[in-house]
């Protein structure tokens, strides 16, 4: 086990999602009552950061599309086949810990498509949907038309 501290327990507000990054994997950390939940930090629907969402009752809600995931399990009440993987987490000495080895093992099966150093890399939608068929084309155009007159790559 590779015990890794990701958040100070006292800095977590009850039912307020917080972002953490371990092994290049976005996580969302939520304190609820005396418990902590650490889930994969990207919405299963479109990849939005779940730390930008909010808690409604026992559900973590995607701040972009409103998808819901139970705090205790990561399972969506809207569509039970959609889940946010839940990682082992615990509080010790007022710190929230995860097992980095568990997250690294998970990412081998689920490589992360986000290019953090690229323009809008953290916020890209890696898949798009049928109702938005031009997401990839728009992203390609954005690479060539960066703000402040910067030049992007030709491809």
Rounded Cα–Cα distance for residues 5 and 92 (Å) = 9
From 52, 44, 39, select the one nearest 103 (Cα to Cα).
39
Phi (first) and psi of residue 140, to 5 degrees: -65, -45
Which pLDDT belongs to residue 124?
Answer: 65
From 51-55, 76-80, 97-101, the region with the lowest mean pLDDT: 76-80
Residues whose CB is less than 8 angstroms from the CB of residue 15 and which lie 6 or more positions away in sequence, other chains included:
30, 31, 32, 55
pLDDT(154) > 60: no
Domains and CATH numbers, the chain: 3-109 (2.102.10.10), 113-155 (no CATH)
Q: Considering the chain, what percentage of its residues have pLDDT values greater than 70?
A: 73
End-to-end CA gap in the chain: 41
Kindly report the three-state secondary structure assignment for every residue of 11-33: HCCECCCEEEEECCEEEEEEEEC
Contact call for residues 96 and 36 (beta carbons, < 8 A): yes
Which pLDDT belongs to residue 47?
Answer: 82
pLDDT, one tens digit per residue, over 19-76 is: 999 999 999 999 999 999 999 999 888 788 999 999 999 999 999 888 999 999 999 9
Structure tokens at 54: 């909010």
pLDDT(102) > 60: yes
Rounded Cα–Cα distance for residues 88 and 100 (Å) = 10
């Amino acid at each position: 086990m590779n015990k890794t501290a990701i958040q100070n327990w006292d800095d977590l507000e009850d039912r307020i999602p917080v972002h953490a990054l371990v092994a290049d994997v976005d996580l969302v950390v939520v304190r609820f009552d005396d418990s902590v939940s650490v889930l994969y930090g990207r919405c299963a629907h479109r990849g939005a950061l779940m730390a930008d969402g909010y808690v409604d009752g026992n559900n973590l809600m995607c701040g972009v599309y409103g998808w819901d995931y139970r705090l205790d399990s990561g399972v969506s009440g809207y569509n039970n086949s959609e889940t946010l993987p839940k990682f082992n987490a615990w509080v010790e000495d007022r710190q929230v810990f995860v097992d980095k080895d568990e997250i690294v093992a998970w990412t081998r099966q689920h490589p992360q498509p986000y290019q953090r150093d690229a323009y809008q890399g953290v916020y890209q939608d890696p898949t798009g949907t049928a109702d938005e068929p031009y997401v990839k084309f728009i992203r390609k155009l954005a690479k060539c038309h960066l703000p402040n007159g910067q030049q992007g790559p030709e491809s």
